[in-house]
Amino acid sequence: MRWSGAVERLDPAAGDGRDGGVIVDGTAAGPSVNGLEVSSERVEIEGVTVRGFGGHGILSWADTVTLRRVNSERNCGWGIFAEGHARLEGRSSAPARLAENGHGTGCLGGGIFASKSREGQSVRLVNVALTGNNGPGALVTGGLSGGWVTATGNAGAGIALETSAEAAIDQAIDLLYGENTLSNNAAYGVHAMAGHLRVSTPAAVTVENNGGWGLFVENGTVGLDHAYLRAAPQSIRGNGTSAACPVWFVEDGRPAVQTRDCSGGGIFASGVGTTRGTNVLTQVDVSDNHGPGVLLGGCLRAAHESSSSVVTKTTIADNAGRGILARAPVQLRDFVAVSGNGGQGVAVIDDAGTVGGHDIAFSATGPGNRIENNLGDGLQLEVGRVELTGELSCSGNAGWGGHVRVGSFLATGAASVGGRAVQDNGFGPTCRTWDLPADGAELFTVTEAACAGGGLWLEAGNPTGVGLDLRGNNAEGALVDGNVSLTGGAACLNGGEEVSATGTVDLDGVDQACL
């Protein structure tokens, strides 16, 4: 172990964790000098603050370095630059700080960089604040785990993970407990260049006002599976504030940075290889983002054999782009609201003649699901079946309430009054379309055109439904190239025909007067 600079030992009684017990001050140490250099198989350091050095605050060649109540701040390089596994732990009352590193003439660096994996994981952070660094809060190559992490105001992503696409299925950012905040960073809140993001019960995340996507997972999945007992939802809000961002990555084992277009929205997750995995959103508020709310299930490859997205007790609202865009099946379980978005509410699109190899492309299985007041079709499918065993209201959308190009529509079982309302759709006057380029990059273009519509439009398919309430739409209640079989519910007060079909029409107990 080698120290540099002036060392001042404080009274242990005064070392309450905010400054540890020792301050290592490098303001007079000279340029390119590292504050603390360690090399051994295993090293443990406790109660130290390293600040003001011309190099890195802490440079570790150790196989494993464990830092407790250690701060590294205002250094010219990285707060911590580790060639092996690193553990950093603070206290709940006094988090460990990696702050304001990489600033100054000729300086560049972030909070913590860890370049080598140990047992699939290179960094563990517990009660840590990564703030105001001139680079990412954390840039790791072998995975990251922990909890009670704050990454705010960094000139890069809050947390960035890079690993090979082949290893991505085994690598992840795992936030296991506590409140985690990833906000106001110049690039993404979380950037997984390959790997997954998992937030497990009882952990939660707040991801707000980042320059790019709130969560951007290029070759992996997002799992926000949250405890139902929490009073407030997890928040993914206000992201995508910048057109260009400093995007950090690893090149030849060392950190590098480029300025890239990072226009974004709330959540992007492409999946991994041909086995894309399942994206899960439970009790999440994805709102007021500057692009689409959620892009899930893959935008890079055509094969999605086992991909799906499951959404529960979640709000996706008032985003500038689509609410949800997926190239794999989407399931709304219960009390999901997709409303007020600047494009289609939910769009499940086809790029290979199938949707994830599944016949069912969209399903709603519980009570209280709503797709309402979006600037496009409420629900749009390229190919596949819509299956409702629970409730879904598609109302007040600028285009059609539901639009299926090739596929069927099946609604079975009981629903509450109004639980399957398809009402007041198609009054436009304009709809927005957000398109991704063919290479699957995160960039998108926006087109706006006049639009109108009605209730349900099936271009090639047969709707069979129980309890559908088709009323007050601008055009037809249902426009079908095929056969129609509806039981109960209503079809009335629509601007066009109540039900228009090229095949047979069977309306059993359907209210067609709405008296």
- Per DSSP, the residues of 153-202 read S-SS-SEEE---TTTGGG-EEEEEESEEEEES-SS-SEEESSSEEEE-TT
Contact 500, 480 (CB under 8 A): yes
Prior bond to 136 cis, omega within 30? no
Give mean pLDDT, residues 185-192. Answer: 96
> Which positions ≥6 away from 216 have C-beta within 8 Å?
157, 188, 190, 191, 192, 262, 264, 268, 442
Residue 87 CA to residue 107 CA, distance in Å, equals 25
Least confident among 40-54, 69-83, 114-128, 331-345: 114-128
Residue 318 CA to residue 340 CA, distance in Å, equals 5
pLDDT higher at 382 or 77 = 77
- pLDDT value at position 304? 27
**CA 228, chain centre distance (Å):** 19
Residue 204 CA to residue 283 CA, distance in Å, equals 10
- pLDDT value at position 353? 46
- pLDDT value at position 438? 45
Q: Both tokens of residue 259?
A: 């300025």
Amino acid at 368: G
Amino acid at 319: N
Residue 174 CA to residue 356 CA, distance in Å, equals 26
Strands (E), 270-345: 278-282, 284-287, 294-296, 308-312, 315-317, 324-326, 330-332, 337-339
Tokens 């899930």 -> residue: 296
74 dihedral zone (left: phi>0; alpha: psi -120 to 50; beta) = left
Q: Binning pLDDT at 50, 70 and 90, where does residue 444 land?
A: low
Residue 469 CA to residue 417 CA, distance in Å, equals 9
Q: For residue range 99-111, what is the model confidence (pLDDT) as tens digits?
A: 999 999 999 999 9
Residue 217 CA to residue 73 CA, distance in Å, equals 29
Per-residue CA distances from 112 to 135, 258, 281, 473 (Å): 9, 18, 29, 56
β-strand 409-411 against 463-466: which pairing, if any? parallel
Q: Binning pLDDT at 50, 70 and 90, where does residue 225 land?
A: confident
Give mean pLDDT, residues 359-364. Answer: 80
Q: For residue range 227-279, what is the model confidence (pLDDT) as tens digits?
A: 555 667 899 999 999 989 999 998 888 999 999 888 889 999 876 554 456 78
- pLDDT value at position 167? 52
pLDDT higher at 79 or 360 = 79
Q: Is the predicted pLDDT of residue 118 greater than 80, yes or no?
A: no
**CA 360, chain centre distance (Å):** 24
Per-residue CA distances from 417 to 368, 372, 466, 489 (Å): 11, 17, 12, 9
Residue 138 CA to residue 119 CA, distance in Å, equals 19
Residue 123 CA to residue 139 CA, distance in Å, equals 9
β-strand 179-183 against 204-208: which pairing, if any? parallel
Q: Enter the pTM of the model.
A: 0.91
Q: Both tokens of residue 415?
A: 């629903």
Q: For residue range 463-512, what is the model confidence (pLDDT) as tens digits?
A: 999 999 999 999 999 999 999 999 999 999 999 999 999 999 999 999 99
Over the chain, what is the mean pLDDT? 85
Per-residue CA distances from 174 to 177, 356, 458 (Å): 9, 26, 42
Residue 305 CA to residue 282 CA, distance in Å, equals 23
> Which positions ≥6 away from 166 have C-beta within 8 Å?
none
